[in-house]
Amino acid sequence: MSESQASWVYSDLVKEHFLSPRNFLMGDEANFPHDTSGTVGNPICGDQMTMYLQIKDNKIVDVRWKTYGCASAIASTSALSELVKGRSLDEALQIGPAEITEFLGGLPKHKFHCSVLGHEALAAAVKAYRAK
């Protein structure tokens, strides 16, 4: 095993989602018409996440997100953004950090909190949508 492989503690799927994140919003959010958004932050690590949702008939039809975060936060939110598409709001909210981590093949214990950030941003976006 090379030194670079030994220092990478994530699964291949985490690496894939980190290096090629799905549904990441490049540029201005005005370029992605959305029905709601939610922003959360983690004061422990300094990460911040915003999720933007397009909703039709109580289902998430599309999603984009932005973050200031680490590899785990990026990969977790990328995976979550794929998992919630086409689901009802209630179904999407059932996909929590444990399910995201399992889908990715695991995260180091000290990085589990990063999978919470995307889920919290999703929950904040849904809450804002329902408050309208």
Which pLDDT score, from 0 to 100, does residue 46 have? 77
Per-position DSSP letters for 71-113, written without gaps between them: HHHHHHHHHHHHHHTT-BHHHHHT--HHHHHHHTT---GGGHH
82 has a pLDDT exceeding 50: yes
Residue type, 49: M
Q: Which of 13, 16, 41, 45 is catalytic?
A: 45
- Tens of pLDDT, residue by residue over 87-106, are 999 999 999 888 988 888 87
Residue 70 falls in the annotated catalytic set = no
Res 129 pLDDT > 60 = yes
The predicted pLDDT at position 2 comes to: 46
For residue 3, what pLDDT band results from cuts at 50, 70 and 90? very low
Task: Out of 114, 116, 117, 121, pick the active-site residue.
Answer: 114
Q: pLDDT grade, residue 8 (50/70/90)? A: low
Structure tokens at 10: 């994530």
Reported as a single tens digit per residue, the pLDDT across 52-66 is: 999 999 999 999 999
**Residue 80's pLDDT is what?**
95
pLDDT band at 40 (very low <50, low <70, confident <90, very high): very high
* Percent of residues, the chain, with pLDDT higher than 90: 49
Q: What is the pLDDT of residue 28?
A: 87
- Say which residue the tokens 């995307």 belong to: 118
CA–CA dist 72, 64 (Å, integer)? 17
From CA 63, how far away is CA 112, in angstroms rounded? 22
Pick the CATH number of 3-131 from 1.10.1200.10, 3.60.21.10, 3.90.1010.10, 3.30.1330.10: 3.90.1010.10
